[in-house]
Structure 1
């Protein structure tokens, strides 16, 4: 069983969408969670994130959670939405350097390491982020196999 943890800032937009996308691919050998570097525990995903997931036929119950040592230890692979998320994890948990990557880095994207944060943006921005995450996750799955 491969355990994957997606990490973003508040755990209400990008990382829960990534978690939902990967879960929706129904890969029995993968367990997935998400967390946020600065998340408040218990918040729902943003309204636009929920709408985009719903529009793409993905049901996902989500409550935000703060990134903790337990989550770090649980994960075999930690995929962050930005290079600053990656650096924050490495500063606090330097021993996990071999299992932390930006999602783009892990997926083989070398141009810009960051998935744009749609927080506070339009539904169209969330749709664009969803499409980007779906594509990156497909590439990451190819690497996992």
Structure 2
């Protein structure tokens, strides 16, 4: 299964979500999982590094985001993804507008995790804003993993 996280620039929220999801899944399932995580931005500048604050917030959680480079959302990525999780309702609407053929697999991260609301953009905030964002992402991604693992167990 391939899961794509989407935000605006792919230098903060979606890059942190991708890195967190990989770590959280590895902590739960080791390397015995067929789930892959990717990220992209609807207005990303390709090859832009993750923001310094995002790198630092992730580093504090034991995750190295230094090598991340932004990717602009493409039709190919959207086609390959089994699930597209956006940071906001606005991102969700944008993805559905440009790729209506994939609408059935697009959800906000919060919605898919069984929660509500958007993941606020920490861009321009001090490190504390990125830490809050990372904690919110961790909470939501844990909900997503719970849902995915429950579905896997039901299939067994």
- Fold equivalence (TM over 0.5): yes
The TM-score normalised by the length of structure 2 is: 0.89
Moved over 4 A (4+): none
Aligned equivalent of 2:61: 56
Hey, what's the Cα distance between the residues in 1 that align with 2:47 and 2:101? 28
The answer to whether residue 81 in structure 2 is matched with residue 82 in structure 1 is no
1:95 counterpart (101, 110, 134): 101
Question: CA deviation digits over 1:82-138, x for unaligned, max 9?
Answer: 00000001001111111000000101113x2x1000001010000000000001000
Please, which runs of 5 or more residues in structure 1 have no aligned partner?
none
The TM-score normalised by the length of structure 1 is: 0.95
Deviation, 1:40, is 0.5
Question: CA deviation digits over 1:40-93, x for unaligned, max 9?
Answer: 100000000000111111123200010001110110000000000000010011
Aligned equivalent of 2:5: 6
For the aligned residues, what is the CA RMSD?
A: 0.8
Aligned residues: 142
The answer to whether residue 139 in structure 2 is matched with residue 140 in structure 1 is no
Matched residue of 1:101: which SS? strand
Matched residue of 1:144: which SS? helix
Aligned equivalent of 2:126: 122
Q: Identify which range, 58-67 or 47-56, moves more after superposition.
A: 58-67
Deviation, 1:29, is 1.8
2:113 counterpart (103, 107, 111): 107
Please, which runs of 5 or more residues in structure 2 have no aligned partner?
150-156
